[in-house]
């Protein structure tokens, strides 16, 4: 089951989870211009985890500074 970035991290864009991800599935990245017209880091209110790219390893969960507030949660389809 993939993970999602939840309400406590909306507006924060803490990149600790990005650095911990072994497959680079958390977007958008800082200082990257996407060729496929995706919005860049400064243009979005929060980061997102691509559920197709996520390997469900959970490496992002313990490094999340807001983890006490359930910032990164398992995706349940809702």
Per-domain residue ranges for the chain?
A: 3-74
Residues 6+ apart with CB under 8 A from 55: 22, 23, 25
Average pLDDT taken over every residue of the chain: 83
Q: Output the CA torsion sign for 67, 72, 76, 78.
A: positive
Is the pTM value of this prediction over 0.75?
Answer: yes
CATH number of 3-74: 3.30.70.20
d(CA 18, CA 55): 14
pLDDT of residue 31 exceeding 70, the answer is: yes
Taking residues 10-34, what's their average pLDDT? Answer: 88
For a pLDDT cut of 70, what percent of the chain falls above it?
83
Give the 3-state secondary structure of residue 27: strand
The pLDDT confidence band at residue 53, using thresholds 50, 70 and 90, is: very high
């Amino acid at each position: 089951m993939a993970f999602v970035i939840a309400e406590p991290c909306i507006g924060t864009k803490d990149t600790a989870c990005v650095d911990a991800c072994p497959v680079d599935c958390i977007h958008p990245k800082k200082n990257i211009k996407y060729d496929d017209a995706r919005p860049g880091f400064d243009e979005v209110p929060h980061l997102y985890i691509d559920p197709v790219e996520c390997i469900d390893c959970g490496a992002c969960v313990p490094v999340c500074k807001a983890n006490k507030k359930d910032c990164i949660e398992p995706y349940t389809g809702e």
